Amino acid sequence: MIKNMKYEKWQRQTALFLGSQTISLFGSSLVQYAIFWYLTLETQSGVIMTLSTIFGFLPTFFISPFAGVWADRYNRKRLIVLSDGITALSTLVLVLLFLAGQRSIWILLATSAIRAVGAGIQMPAVGAILPQIVPEKELTRINGLNGSIQAVVMLVSPMISGALYQFAPMEGIFMIDIVTAALAIAIMVFLLKVPTHEKASQEQVSNYLQDMKLGFRYIQNHAFIKRLFLYFSLAFFMAAPVSFLSPLQVARSFGDDVWRLTAIEIAFSIGMIGGGLWIASWGGFKNRIHSIAFAIGAMGLCTFGMGVIPNFWIYLFLMGLVGLVIPLLNAPSMTLLQEKVEEDFLGRVFGVQSMVASSMMPLGMLIFGPLADRMAIEILMAVSGVFLMVVAFFAIRDRVLLEAGKPEPSDTGKE
């Protein structure tokens, strides 16, 4: 279905692309952790955590439908470069403000919002460009491998960021992001060769709104995409506590030491590294929906455990298990869309997926965040964990999804 780029050394191009994204992610992660920990330790407020989530995700929601259209109409490589440039520029402004003595929480929140715009532009383009580089039969393996690479970055980033947070000024941490963004842009511009996809090379006869409507109509006419996005929406909504309130829970219940906050990020990252390698070598269940439902259910069980287990080391273990199953959710779902969606609509479909990912967690935090200042976060963890398991139960029984998730003849995953 998807026309892959015609050249022999796709492995080299894939390595260059993943390398550039890894470098960019490393710098962004250092800034992300520094800002998040600064807000957590300085305020210890559920309301501030909610605002941080909203400012960090809501702009992605608003830009994603337009970014999806852009990813289908224009050169996807250039869009990725543009998004890295926006992120680097916002960080540079933040450095200058900090050097001028401006350290308001609102400045940090505004910077998070600008960075979220860059992420919103980038995500549909990244999801749509991979099938141009990677042969279809290799997509699950590469998506899983990419998940492991990102997890390694997420493992290293909090350790380095934690050390820098203790001994270096915030503006010094921010400068690293500017340097890594420049390196990533250089690799994309000078080394990566990805021809413009077919639709982008043609004269555009429709306007943005028409293309956007066609994208939504495409999703409307494909029941499995609607169902997949529905379950994703429910899962993302109920995953808000484990995703954003765990640092606050640790600070309140186990101690506000930086090493504890670092430890939960490391445990999660180690789990994701293992999960990414697992899905890359195994491929997941034959039916991709089984992998997705299993991941949601396992995440729910672990989240419930994090709400009822009072021991910090068991808490860390459960956080690691959450990380382990995340690639079993991400890689099969991304591969399913890359395989089933026509190339001309990939950007817009991934744009809607970005809308789902960027809106449901903030919506969840609108409820769970304020509640975290009124009741124990352990209760919120337990309740959300139960609901995640319910979502998994209905997903694995959905006939439309199960039919779409059936393997292609070339798939080799094992039950």
Q: Are 276 and 146 in contact (CB under 8 A)?
A: yes
Most confident by average pLDDT, 81-85, 200-204, 272-276, 294-298:
294-298
pLDDT value at residue 186: 93
Q: What is the mean pLDDT of residues 93-105?
A: 85
3-state secondary structure the chain: CCCCCCCCCHHHHHHHHHHHHHHHHHHHHHHHHHHHHHHHHHHCCHHHHHHHHHHHHHHHHHHHHHHHHHHHHCCHHHHHHHHHHHHHHHHHHHHHHHHCCCCCHHHHHHHHHHHHHHHHHHHHHHHHHHHHHCCHHHHHHHHHHHHHHHHHHHHHHHHHHHHHHHHCCHHHHHHHHHHHHHHHHHHHHHCCCCCCCHHHHCCCCCCHHHHHHHHHHHHHCCHHHHHHHHHHHHHHHHCHHHHHHHHHHHHHHCCCCHHHHHHHHHHHHHHHHHHHHHHHHHCCCCCHHHHHHHHHHHHHHHHHHHHHCCCHHHHHHHHHHHHHHHHHHHHHHHHHHHHHCCHHHHHHHHHHHHHHHHHHHHHHHHHHHHHCCCCCHHHHHHHHHHHHHHHHHHHCCCHHHHHHCCCCCCCCCCC
Residues 225 and 275: their CA atoms lie apart, in Å, by: 25
Supply φ then ψ for residue 206, to 5 degrees: -110, 160
CA distance 24 to 380: 34
CA distances from 160 to 163, 165, 248, 277 (A): 5, 8, 20, 23
Q: Which two tokens stand for residue 258?
A: 């930086």
Q: Average pLDDT, stretch 275-283?
A: 84
Contacts of 182 (CB under 8 A, 6+ apart): 88
Identity of the residue numbered 384: S
Q: How many C-beta neighbours within 10 Å does residue 80 have?
A: 27
Residue 46's pLDDT band (cuts 50, 70, 90): low
| Higher local confidence (pLDDT), 361 or 318 | 318
What is the tens place of the pLDDT at every residue in 217-238? 888 888 888 899 899 889 989 9
**Global confidence as pTM:** 0.70
More confident residue, 193 or 7: 193
Please check the confidence at residue 366 and state whether its pLDDT lies above 70: yes
pLDDT in tens, 112-152: 888 888 888 888 888 888 888 888 778 878 888 887 887 78
Mean pLDDT, rounded, of the chain: 83
Domains of the chain: residue spans and CATH: 9-191 (1.20.1250.20), 208-405 (1.20.1250.20)
Q: What are the tens digits of pLDDT across the range 348-360?
A: 887 777 777 767 8
**Structure confidence by residue, pLDDT tens digits, 389-415:** 999 999 999 998 888 888 765 544 444
Average of per-residue pLDDT across 156-168 = 77
What sign results for the dihedral spanned by CA atoms 43, 111, 115, 368? positive
